[in-house]
Amino acid sequence: MAPAWRCSVKTPAYLIPSPLGDIAVRIEDDALTGLFFVGQKYFPSLAIAHEADPRVMSPLARKVAEEIAEYFTGARETFSVPIHLRGTAFQRRVWKELLAIPFGELVSYGDITERVGLPMSAARAVGGAVGRNPVSIMVPCHRVVGASGSLTGYAGGIDRKRALLSLEGAGFERGAHHSVQQAFAF
């Protein structure tokens, strides 16, 4: 059973379907502030104001739903919706680096640590910030892997991370793009 979420008029949240499970979309001040698989780790407490019905969704929520659907069909590699990342200055620095990771490419937590100008001893803190990314998929934390290339940590679950990377042709099946149905069987 889904958790009981709370939502205010000021912070509308919408539920959109995806091949990997329902996704909650949070819109604030004409920007996307949250994109989470329902039930994922660190999922914020919010209510679903509207399901994916274009008649009741805000224009921005409709755009998010459209771009996510295009991503899952392989028709979209980048996103154009405005995103406002809410977190600490450190987290925002890390999340900004995630935005620079190209579609289908992998980087390690150590790479991100270096890119934000920190010593390797900070890699665990960087991993913590990556794990608390509030905008899954569009801020591509799923493209971050362990130093050995191993699939480690993803708030939405390792199976979803593997499916997203397979869809992008990255990771274990580098260069081969697959449909979500091929990448992830329920």
* Judgement on whether residues 53 and 109 belong to the same structural domain of the protein: no
Look at residue 79 and tell me if it is in a domain: no
Domain match, 99 and 134 both: yes
In a domain, 5, yes or no: no
Domain co-membership, 43 together with 100: no
> What pLDDT is stored for residue 7 in this prediction?
39
Q: Does residue 79 carry a pLDDT above 80?
A: yes
Q: Distance between CA 16 and CA 33 in Å, rounded? A: 15
Domain with residue 170: its CATH number is 1.10.10.10
Question: Is 7 an annotated catalytic residue?
Answer: no
Two structure tokens written together for 63? 């755009």
How far apart, in whole angstroms, are the C-alpha atoms of residue 181 and residue 52?
21
Residue of 9, 68, 72 lying closest to 60 (CA atoms)? 68
Q: Which token pair is 179?
A: 């449909």
Q: Provide the pLDDT confidence category of residue 1 given band limits of 50, 70 and 90.
A: very low
Q: How many domains does the chain have?
A: 2
pLDDT band at 45; cut points 50, 70, 90: low
Does the residue 80 lie in any domain?
A: no
Domain boundaries, position 35:
13-73
Same domain, 63 and 93: no
Which pLDDT value is given to residue 147? Answer: 83
2 or 61, which is more confident? 61
103 and 147 fall within a common domain: yes
Same domain, yes or no, for 113 and 146?
yes
The reply to whether 93 falls in a domain is yes
| Max mean pLDDT range (13-17, 52-56, 64-68) | 64-68
Task: Provide the whole-model pTM.
Answer: 0.83
Q: Please tell me whether residues 95 and 170 are part of one structural domain.
A: yes
Cα separation values, 130 from 8, 49, 103, 138, Å: 27, 27, 17, 13
- Domain match, 68 and 100 both: no
Average pLDDT value for the chain: 82
Domain membership of residue 8 (yes or no) is no
Considering the domain architecture, whether residues 168 and 111 belong to the same structural domain is answered as yes
Residues 177 and 103 in one domain: yes
From the list 16, 24, 60, 141, the catalytic residue is 141
Instruction: Report, as an integer, the average pLDDT of 127-154.
Output: 91
